[in-house]
Amino acid sequence: MTPVGEEMHALVERLYPLCRSITGDGVRATLDIVGEYLPLQVHEVPTGTPVLDWTVPQEWNIRDAYIADSTGRRVVDFAASSLHVLGYSVPVSATMPLSELREHLHTLPDQPSWVPYRTSYYKPEWGFCLAQDTLDAMPDGDYEVRIDSTLADGHLTYAEHVVPGQVADEVIVSCHTCHPALANDNMAGVAVATYLARELAQRTPYYTYRFIFAPGTIGAITWLARNAERVERVKHGLVLACAGDRGRLTYKQSRRGDAEIDRVLRHVLTASERPHQVNEFTPYGYDERQYCSPGFNLGVGSLTRTPYAGYPEYHTSADNPDFVSPEALADTLAVCREAFAVLDRNRRYLNLSPYGEPQLGRRGLYDALGGRSDTKQAQMAMLWVLNLSDGDHDLLDVAERSGLPFDTVADAAGALHEAGLIKT
């Protein structure tokens, strides 16, 4: 086990019990914990604010909820798991027979010991989620039903963390903060994003990296609405989710399909020889569908391990911290690290001596490579960079066409640039 994987897993365990939704104190408590690891700029957007074609909803908070039998025993208890309550349930206090209560109960008959995750964000409803085994054990009779919640004007809360780069052009890394008591979806994504931001802050990257911690769908839409005038700075982006299960890595391409982030992730995953899958874009999934909506059409892909709805534990109580692996978290972080290292060094160059091959020996370029263990590769990389530095090909093109490691190609470009043979 890697120390960073263990640390990220510990963060998942801290975040897991909090009752999150698209608004409310659970989101704020989540961001408070993330704020212990990163300085965050927290934004509060009032209920009723128009955001693109949507409106910021009322804020939902909950203090307690239960179903109690005739003896007062809590058969279903929100205190045991925040999944037990239908998200955004309106308040209720009543006594009713089981036959009437059943209309408000959600179970998973095919997984009778698991509790499902269900919500009703934009339709006034109330309900409980419970194991089918629990429901089967409930005899007919009257039950006390109580949901102590409020749905009132308030705010939608999201946060940003910015790692300044050498240029103002931005890479966004987005993760959703709205799911209660689901470890892989998406506290694993939050943990990886948090540690990725910490790593990037240890150096000065080329791009400026903006990390967005926001509730799913409405949070990304709100961010886009509030940043519409500056969204042109966003050159690349990645949505992180389901980052900690033991499945193989999956990259979902942007709507463009040939955005630089798509090419980089395909290259890194293939070159690393990790088991992986690359999927075409679809307008369903996580917040990549908002960033890739046709009006914005940003180069934003999505990195997961097993994709949404692709594993039985998805949106159930079985998506708990035990389902998340420290090794998988560390591996997802490593892929992000490798991908952004390529993205930061990828450039288009122009050969300043394009007629014939320039003499590298008299410029000391071959001698400069003498101490390398991959001297032959480095020499070939110089020749490839010179040949493809025509303003149309970038270093990733060179690496893919030559079959050489990207770092070797980038190092060769740096030496040629320093010698005055190529320019950006």
Tell whether 344 is in a known binding site: no
* Number of neighbours of residue 99 by Cβ within 10 angstroms: 9
Pull the structure tokens for residue 295. 């009006």
**By three-state DSSP, how is residue 24 classified?**
coil
**By three-state DSSP, how is residue 50 classified?**
strand
Dihedral sign from CA coordinates of 258, 262, 267, 270: negative
Say if CB 30 and CB 36 are below 8 A apart. no
Say if CB 130 and CB 183 are below 8 A apart. no
Tell whether 161 is in a known binding site: no
Position 74, amino acid = R
- Distance in angstroms (rounded) separating the CA atoms of residues 10 and 347: 38
Tell whether 185 is in a known binding site: yes
- CA distance to 221, 250, 286, 308, 312, per residue, from 281 (Å): 19, 12, 11, 14, 23
Pull the structure tokens for residue 220. 């990304």
- Distance in angstroms (rounded) separating the CA atoms of residues 198 and 332: 15
Residues making up the annotated binding site for Zn(2+) are 179, 185, 315
The binding site consists of 179, 185, 315
